[in-house]
Amino acid sequence: MQLRHAEPSRDAAACAEIYAPFVADSVISLEVVPPGPEEFARRIERISTRYPWLVAELGDEMAGFAYGSLHRERAAYRWAAESTVYIDPAHQRRGVGRSLYLALFDLLRRQGLQIVYAGITLPNRASVALHEALGFELVGVYRRIAWKFGAWHDVGWWQLDLVPPEPQAPPEPGPPVRLDQR
């Protein structure tokens, strides 16, 4: 498996293809219309200016992607990020999600972020298991927060400390760090 940073022109179509069934056929994603390659290219471009966006390749095939993103707009939240991971169903349960997340969390930590959050539409045993295996802890559930497919859905929120908490303000987070930067 090879992990690398996403490139909008190279990876948008494959990311859109992996993501589409999670939108169209499930409540794993709470979007209601699957974004196409053009929208994915814009998202990769926009998010990559502030956070890492990684892809995993097995041979010449994309197996999944993961990225960090803004948790909240307020300045006091600047040391927090949200994490997202999607794995092609043909490559699930092979360690792809774990590998992507471990690399992503290392990059976020080196960037100066302190904590990462993950929102999971419930129920989703596989996603909960992955997050908890990586050390995430449940911090709360938004009840009936999302309407999709004719029903209300709960979203659970998990958090992971990337570094031990300190009583004073840490240094300002920096720009995204690259996999090849040590």
Q: Is residue 170 domain-resident?
A: no
**Residue showing tokens 């993501």:** 19
Q: Is residue 168 domain-resident?
A: no
**Residue showing tokens 């859905």:** 153
What's the number of domains the chain is made of? 1
Distance CA(133)–CA(80), nearest Å, equals 20
CA 33 to chain centre: 19
The parent domain of residue 44 ranges over 2-161
β 115-122/80-87 pair status: parallel
Largest alpha-carbon pair distance within the chain? 48
pLDDT for 180 beyond 80: yes
pLDDT in tens, 5-60: 999 999 999 999 999 999 999 999 999 999 999 999 999 999 999 999 999 999 99
**Residue showing tokens 């803004």:** 70
Count of residues making up the chain: 182
What is the reported pTM? 0.95
